Structure 1
Amino acid sequence: MQSSASKPQSAAAGSQQANKVSMFSQPIGVWAVVFASIIAFMGLGLVDPILPAIATKLHASSSDVTLLFTSYNAVMAIAMLITGVVSSRIGMKWTLLTGIVFIAVFAALGGMSNSIWGLVWLRGGWGLGNAMFVATALAAIVSMSKTGVAKSIILFEVAVGLGISVGPLLGGELGSISWRGPFFGVAGLMVLAFLLLTILMPKRAKLAPAGQPSAVKKKGSLADPFRALKFRALRTFGIAAALYNFGFFTLLVYAALVLGHLGLDEHQLGYVFLGWGLMLAFTSVFMAPKLQKRFGTLPSMVVQLLLFAATLFVMAVWTTDKAVIIVMVVLAGAFLGNNNTLITTAVMNAAPVERPTASAAYSFLRFIGGAIAPYLAGKLAEWFNPHMPFIVGGAFVVIAALYLLVNTKHLKHVDDAESAH
């Protein structure tokens, strides 16, 4: 009895010790993955400032250009289902390195493309690499971290925010030389990421899913993510994220095209989305944990989603006002940063499954929304008017908030699970 009782006390003591440790007190392997994640997420933002230039140079319509994000996200969504199988067989480190190689190769080939449709297909290959990297990176950071799940996720969101914010700035600079520059830039940066992970990340034997010794680590199955989605909380967060991503990618892709039509060049677009990404990174680290602690995960998420929807509706009304669009894009970064950290933390605690499996199942659903949204936004502008994509994107975000509220009783446990870590 005494030995049994001491286990919860030991776990609680470990949790308290993890909470006292700074988020930045991490092993060198964690920092290698974080740095590689920054570079990987630069790839998303690098392309954003050059969308108008790609449309002009390759004689493509706005809806054609949005397919660069649709193919990327569609392949990511499907590939998320196999990341667990791959990483359980070849290890997290080799899964990350394989993803990096895919990104580097397809980005370089994209830089050599001469047609919009060739570029669309190559972006799909880029998405495959990104799926292998992103799904595994979060699990690797959580596994190697000594600061607990919440702080590990915040650190990952910092990498996401920095990558997304610096990416447009670099993309704008390289894109001002040639629209091909950002593609070759990504390829070069991923070579650097490959070298860093090869040297600094621990070998496969030292890695295992959090809380599970490597000696008993089991091989994943293609059915694992689908089994994980049987848990209502995880499924609910995934569906909400798919709906919310309609707004996210309307902002990221369509707003860039609107600003391009309003006269912003690659440099200026880079600076606008730099501001957006910095707001996203800042709130991910400094605001989201405070909101979660004071108001709880679900109420905080709902408020942030509604505030984000409000920025999209404002853009729908003042679509031709350059200053309003710029201010709303940057402001939206604050709400997106808060929501990203809140929902990612919740997903890690939503179901009693391994974290890589939970991440894969959730990401499969959310990237379905990310695949449909960019192309739908471009088509809505063609079918109706330039205001309609923002209206529809905002409506989907409101539906996401309402969907979470309807399922409140199935989601309350995520805060209890977080406090136990």
Structure 2
Amino acid sequence: MKREKKIANKNLILLLLGRMISDTGTGIQMIIIPLYIIDMGGSAATVGLFSFLSLVPLLIAYPFAGVIGDRLNRKIIMVATDIASAAAILGLTFAAYTDKINLILLLTVQVIVSLLNGLFDPATKAMLPQLVAPEKLTQANSTLASLRTLSGLLSPILGVVLYGKLGIASIFLINGISFLLSGGCSTLIKYKHVKRESVAGVQGYISDLSQGIKFVLDNKIISKLCTFFLLIYAIIQPIFTVVLPLFFKTQLTYSDKQYGYLQMILILGALLGSILVALLFGKEKKVSKPLMIGCGLLMFTMLAFSSLLFPHILYSLGTGTLLYFVFLSGILFLLSVAIMLINVPVQTFIQKHTPDEYMSRMFSIVGMITKGGMPFGGLVYGLVLNYAPVHYVMSSVSILLLLISVTFLSSLLKTSNFL
């Protein structure tokens, strides 16, 4: 028993270490590439295209990734995609070092890496429940979320320093090495693949994907959680990418440096939220308690955030004062905490209640939902804010979110196995 526990702990450490290393390398590159594109003479449209190509290929890969992850050895998928990503990015390193890099090559490699990430992600999330006991899943997911958030905190600092002193080739080199190290960690994980019978060919893949979708639709709790995830991510994430930058630049008088501080505060909030889930709810058998607290905190912070945007509040506190910055950063900090209090328990519940043969397909569907709703939500925000003041838009969004959360929670709490 002790030996099995030691192996399980070693496997989890290897998985977590590999993810943190590759997330840090990827984060460094993703932070710097927009700056590099502009330095190369690219326009804002080129930066937007890079952002588009970072997400859309991943979404396209997800349906196939789910089926592949449930058919093939997940460990081999992780190792192969890490090595392929490393090869592509190290190729960029050579091109940058020899001054042969150009925008077309950069964007092409980004498409390849995004597709590979789409294959990698569902396999990783599906493997986690096989490496830890069910009662340890919340702690494992919380630790993974904490490390990923920590890498997000380190990446901008490391990226700016490295790019400024050593140039773009160093950024690509470090990211390529990070994928190699991540692949090495995955290789050392002791994992037994359970092969299942499946129909070969295109028809078999379509059949497997249909079965995965049917599993989600037939499971009332999981389908409700997926719907809630779609709505939450579509509503909340564009606040950070569309509403906040627009409001900060047009309504406030702070510097870009203070905007950077605000971004760090958001990351620290997410880090604290993921840690709190493990400390306070790591031993909870049900996820309803942290989820209810997270939804309650989310509703409170959204109402508080929308209140801060009203002109008379801006006039009273001042558009460039320390007092207003403290209020704004404090509310956004709590908003990040709330998102993690929702995210980690939902992911844990899905892992606990999904059979292993559906696990990769399940997380490919969840991935499409969480990431697919963001660009659509951002588009809607962008269109609406052209015609309506930001404080009215966010007040309406807060009320809508309140109604969605109350409806969602009241529906879930009627289900016995969720309580």
TM-score (normalizing by structure 2)? 0.72
Query: Hey, what does 2:350 align to over in structure 1?
Result: 347
Q: Aligned letter for 1:227?
A: K
Q: Aligned letter for 2:359?
A: R
CA contact (8 A) 1:138 1:156 kept: no
Deviates more, 1:36-45 or 1:287-296: 287-296
CA distance in 2, matches of 1:176, 1:272: 22
Deviation at 1:241?
1.9
Query: Hey, what does 1:365 align to over in structure 2?
Result: 369
Deviation at 1:416?
3.1
Query: Hey, what does 2:267 align to over in structure 1?
Result: 277
Query: Hey, what does 1:405 align to over in structure 2?
Result: 406
Query: Hey, what does 1:167 align to over in structure 2?
Result: 155
Query: Hey, what does 1:31 align to over in structure 2?
Result: 13
Q: Aligned letter for 2:82?
A: I
- The 5 A counterparts of 1:127-146 are 127-146=114-133
CA distance in 2, matches of 1:103, 1:309: 38
Match of 1:91 among 73, 79, 83: 73
Deviates more, 1:79-88 or 1:290-299: 290-299
3-state SS in 1 of match to 2:256: coil
CA distance in 1, matches of 2:269, 2:396: 23
CA contact (8 A) 2:71 2:196 kept: no
Match of 1:150 among 138, 145, 152: 138
What is the total number of aligned residue pairs between the two structures?
384
Query: Hey, what does 1:286 align to over in structure 2?
Result: 276
CA distance in 2, matches of 1:43, 1:140: 22
3-state SS in 1 of match to 2:209: coil
In structure 2, relative to structure 1, the CA distance for the partners of 1:305 and 1:274 (3 Å cut) is same
- The 5 A counterparts of 1:5-404 are 26-42=8-24, 45-46=27-28, 49-50=31-32, 53-54=35-36, 56-58=38-40, 65-107=47-89, 112=96, 114-115=102-103, 119=106, 122-146=109-133, 147-177=135-165, 178=167, 182-198=171-187, 200-203=188-191, 206-207=192-193, 214=194, 221-230=208-217, 231-250=219-238, 252-254=240-242, 255=244, 263-264=255-256, 273-287=263-277, 290=280, 296-310=289-303, 313=306, 316=309, 321=320, 324=325, 329-349=332-352, 354-373=358-377, 383=386, 388=390, 399=400, 402-404=403-405
Deviation at 1:225?
3.1
Deviation at 1:25?
9.0
Deviation at 1:93?
0.7
CA contact (8 A) 2:303 2:395 kept: yes
Larger radius of gyration: 2
Query: Hey, what does 2:202 align to over in structure 1?
Result: none
RMSD between superposed Cα atoms in Å:
4.4
In structure 2, relative to structure 1, the CA distance for the partners of 1:92 and 1:296 (3 Å cut) is same
3-state SS in 2 of match to 1:27: helix
CA distance in 2, matches of 1:58, 1:183: 16
For residues 201-245 of structure 1, what are the alpha-carbon distances to aligned partners after superposition, in whole Å with 9 as ceiling and x for unaligned? 125xx24xxxxxx26576872323322331343233223222322
Deviates more, 1:123-132 or 1:47-56: 47-56
CA distance in 1, matches of 2:415, 2:89: 38
CA distance in 2, matches of 1:170, 1:159: 16
Percent identity, aligned pairs only? Answer: 14
Deviation at 1:129?
2.1
Q: Structure 2: 5+ residue runs without aligned partners?
A: 200-204
Deviation at 1:133?
2.2
